[in-house]
Amino acid sequence: MSEDERRRLLRDYGATPEEIEFLLNERVELNALTSEQLVALVERKLTAYGLKKVVPDEELLAETYRAFHRSDELREEFEDLMATMEEGTIKVPKNLKQKVCAILTKHPDLRWDDAIRIVLDATASKTCGGRSKRPRKNPATSRMLKTMRKAASEAA
């Protein structure tokens, strides 16, 4: 691209004559700036263009406030529940590694911790502090089912 073309483009993008001369004649390396300098540069440019911090409408503010409040309450409840649990009460299958490897062999796109979740979900009864828990829907099982359906449709 010729210097005249670059000059025209810079002018079209709103550069001042001084900025155009600088950009055409000086090498500019953003990674040569410190983090503070880069942030200051970006903030100056945003301010120059009249951009301001976005604050959502009242409805979204209230919804987010309630979500944070619920999250705080759930965290406290979870911490209380965890304090009552003993690790020794959770029975880990003796052949867990074998089961995980079998799942990963069939579904190599899954992560190993997804395979553990699938093994856990496949367990007929789960106990937590003596209470029976029913299997829950979870992301790992959902990903596995999606993978299985995709593989089946591709095979057909």
Could you tell me the residue ranges of all domains in the chain?
3-48, 55-84, 87-155
pLDDT per position as a tens digit, 25-36: 887 677 878 899
With cut-offs at 50, 70 and 90, classify the pLDDT of residue 4.
very high
User: What's the pTM?
Assistant: 0.40
Strands 131-133 and 126-128: what pairing?
antiparallel
What pLDDT is stored for residue 141 in this prediction? 63
Q: Average pLDDT in the 40-67 region?
A: 92
Instruction: State the burial class of residue 114 (Cβ atoms within 10 Å of its Cβ: 0-12, 13-18, 19+).
Output: buried
Instruction: Give the whole-angstrom CA distance, residue 73 versus residue 80.
Output: 11
Q: Which structure tokens are listed for 20? A: 């155009």
- Residue 24 near residue 6 (C-beta atoms within 8 A): yes
